[in-house]
Amino acid sequence: MVDVLRVSAQSNPKSVAGALTAVIRERGTAEVQAVGAGAVNQAVKAIAIARGFIAPNGIDLVSVPAFVEISIDGEERTAIKFIVEHR
């Protein structure tokens, strides 16, 4: 099972990057979900920061974006998900 990290426009990218790095080290892959432009911006920043955190360990992160339908308060929303794994 892939761990899902949900990011909002108010998320701290450095904090998300730390959580993402921990999940990648433990599981090898993670999914980052974001709804809205601000959240996607924070998610992309977090992935870039996480690459810097984990690069000294010889791990090169790659990210594959895709759309996913999620339910928020009973309402269907389209989110962008980033599958993050090492190359």
Helix segments in 7-80, DSSP class H: 13-27, 37-54
Q: At what angle do helices 37-54 and 13-27 cross, to 10 degrees?
A: 60
Q: What are the residue ranges spanned by the domains of the chain?
A: 3-86
The string of DSSP codes covering 52-71 is HHHGGGT--EEEEEEEEEEE
pLDDT digits (tens, 9 = 90+) for 38-78: 999 999 999 999 999 999 989 999 999 999 999 989 999 99
Residues 10-38 have pLDDT tens digits of 999 999 999 999 999 999 999 999 999 99
Right CATH for 3-86 from 3.30.110.20, 3.10.450.50, 3.40.50.620, 3.40.630.30: 3.30.110.20
Specify whether the backbone of 73 is left (phi greater than 0), alpha (psi in -120 to 50) or beta. Answer: left
Bridge partners (DSSP) listed for residue 32: 5, 82
Both tokens of 61, joined, read 């992160």
